[in-house]
């Protein structure tokens, strides 16, 4: 009994001491967490700086085929052609003794006329000069228009020479004089070549699919003798035949034309 009482007393004392320890233990106050500094907004990555000399754009493949301006000249020879309804209804050619000059041509039913520098080949100038000499053109009073035959529906030609203080103009549309006809044909051939080059330049830059038809055109002119000096066309035809903007069929045709021109004549 005494031992039980002592044991109970010890238990009570232990419980009291444990309670006292719990009262004296203080729970630490939570430390205030400092507010986090907001992260800076993500900045977009700037594009890389362009490298000097490098172009990112699509290259401009169409180079202008500008004609080289002719040197200054004093017109001695002037040719005009007028025929409403033709593809080029008005044509004017003027040049000096060395073949330097200019050509104007106006498409039918258009207000604007185009013009290009002109440099006639030595062979063409030789043909013109010998023909004018044969006619004694500047001193003659001959009327080259064949009487009773008015072919103005095919166009009227006017040819003028101004030299040494003298000027003479002849106008006709049909003639039986062979030398006068040679003048008509030679100047018409000069106009054919100039207008063909103009059309080829436009097609080469803007509509290459038209160039096969234009190759046919110059081929026909040459075969019919309607350009005055085919060999002098060879450098230009070679340039065209090497232009990869043109369809292969056009380039091959131009190469054949060069071969035909280059063949020795028997």
Give the pLDDT confidence score for residue 70 in this predicted structure: 52
Give the pLDDT confidence score for residue 209 in this predicted structure: 97
**Beta pairing partners, 219:** none
Give the pLDDT confidence score for residue 264 in this predicted structure: 83
Whether residue 44 has pLDDT greater than 90: no
What mean pLDDT comes out for the span 129-151? 94
Give the pLDDT confidence score for residue 210 in this predicted structure: 98
* Burial zone of 77 (CB within 10 Å; 0-12 exposed, 13-18 middle, 19+ buried): buried
Give the span between the Cα atoms of 255 and 252, in whole angstroms.
Answer: 5
What mean pLDDT comes out for the span 191-206? 97
Whether residue 249 has pLDDT greater than 50: yes
Give the pLDDT confidence score for residue 150 in this predicted structure: 85
What mean pLDDT comes out for the span 154-168? 96
Please indicate, yes or no, if residue 26 is contained in any of the structural domains: no
Q: How many residues does the chain have?
A: 266
Please indicate, yes or no, if residue 34 is contained in any of the structural domains: no
What mean pLDDT comes out for the span 18-43? 42
Higher pLDDT, 254 or 42: 254
Please indicate, yes or no, if residue 1 is contained in any of the structural domains: no
Q: What percent of the chain has pLDDT over 70?
A: 73
Q: What angle do CA 195, 94, 231 make, to 5 degrees?
A: 55
The model scores a pTM over 0.75:
no
Give the span between the Cα atoms of 90 and 25, in whole angstroms.
Answer: 119
Q: 263 to each of 224, 228, 253, 260, how far by Cα in Å?
A: 17, 17, 16, 5
Give the pLDDT confidence score for residue 152 in this predicted structure: 86
Among 67-81, 175-189, 210-224, which is the least confidently predicted range?
67-81
Helix axes 178-206, 122-135, angle to 10 degrees: 150
Higher pLDDT, 25 or 219: 219
Whether residue 25 has pLDDT greater than 90: no
Q: What percent of the chain has pLDDT over 90?
A: 67
Whether residue 88 has pLDDT greater than 50: yes
Residue 225's CB is within 10 A of a number of other CB atoms, namely 10
What mean pLDDT comes out for the span 68-91? 88
Give the pLDDT confidence score for residue 145 in this predicted structure: 95
Give the pLDDT confidence score for residue 66 in this predicted structure: 39
Please indicate, yes or no, if residue 79 is contained in any of the structural domains: yes
Please indicate, yes or no, if residue 249 is contained in any of the structural domains: no
Whether residue 128 has pLDDT greater than 90: yes
Please indicate, yes or no, if residue 255 is contained in any of the structural domains: no
Give the pLDDT confidence score for residue 266 in this predicted structure: 65
Give the pLDDT confidence score for residue 141 in this predicted structure: 95
Residue 155's CB is within 10 A of a number of other CB atoms, namely 19
Whether residue 218 has pLDDT greater than 80: yes
DSSP symbols for 166-205: EEEEEEES--S-HHHHHHHHHHHHHHHHHHHHHHHHHHHH
Please indicate, yes or no, if residue 111 is contained in any of the structural domains: yes
What mean pLDDT comes out for the span 16-38? 42
Please indicate, yes or no, if residue 191 is contained in any of the structural domains: no
**Average model confidence (pLDDT) across the chain:** 81
Give the span between the Cα atoms of 199 and 197, in whole angstroms.
Answer: 5
Number of domains composing the chain = 1
Whether residue 6 has pLDDT greater than 80: no
Whether residue 18 has pLDDT greater than 70: no
Domain span including residue 93:
66-177
Structure tokens, 44: 């977009």
């Amino acid at each position: 009994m005494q031992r039980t009482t002592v044991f109970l007393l010890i238990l009570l004392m232990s419980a009291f001491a444990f309670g006292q320890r719990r009262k004296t233990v203080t729970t630490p106050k939570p430390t205030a967490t400092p507010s986090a500094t907001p992260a800076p907004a993500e900045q977009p990555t700037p594009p890389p700086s362009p490298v000097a000399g490098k172009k990112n754009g699509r290259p401009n493949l169409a180079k202008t085929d500008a004609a080289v301006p002719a040197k200054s000249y004093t017109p001695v020879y002037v040719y005009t052609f007028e025929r409403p309804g033709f593809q080029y209804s008005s044509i004017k050619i003027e040049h000096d003794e060395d073949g330097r000059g200019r050509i104007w041509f106006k498409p039918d039913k258009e207000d604007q006329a185009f013009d290009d520098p002109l440099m006639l080949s030595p062979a063409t100038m030789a043909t013109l000069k010998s023909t004018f000499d044969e006619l004694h053109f500047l001193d003659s009073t001959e009327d080259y228009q064949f009487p009773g035959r008015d072919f103005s529906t095919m166009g009227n030609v006017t040819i003028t020479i101004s030299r040494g203080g003298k000027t003479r103009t002849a106008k006709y549309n049909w003639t039986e004089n062979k030398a006068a006809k040679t003048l008509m044909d030679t100047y018409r051939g000069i106009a054919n070549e100039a207008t063909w080059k103009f059309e080829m330049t436009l097609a080469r830059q803007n509509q290459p699919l038209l160039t096969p038809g234009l190759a046919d055109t110059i081929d026909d002119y040459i075969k019919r003798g309607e350009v005055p000096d085919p060999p002098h066309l060879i450098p230009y035809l070679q340039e065209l035949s090497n232009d990869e903007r043109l369809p292969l069929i056009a380039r091959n045709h131009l190469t054949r034309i060069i071969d035909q021109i280059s063949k020795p004549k028997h």
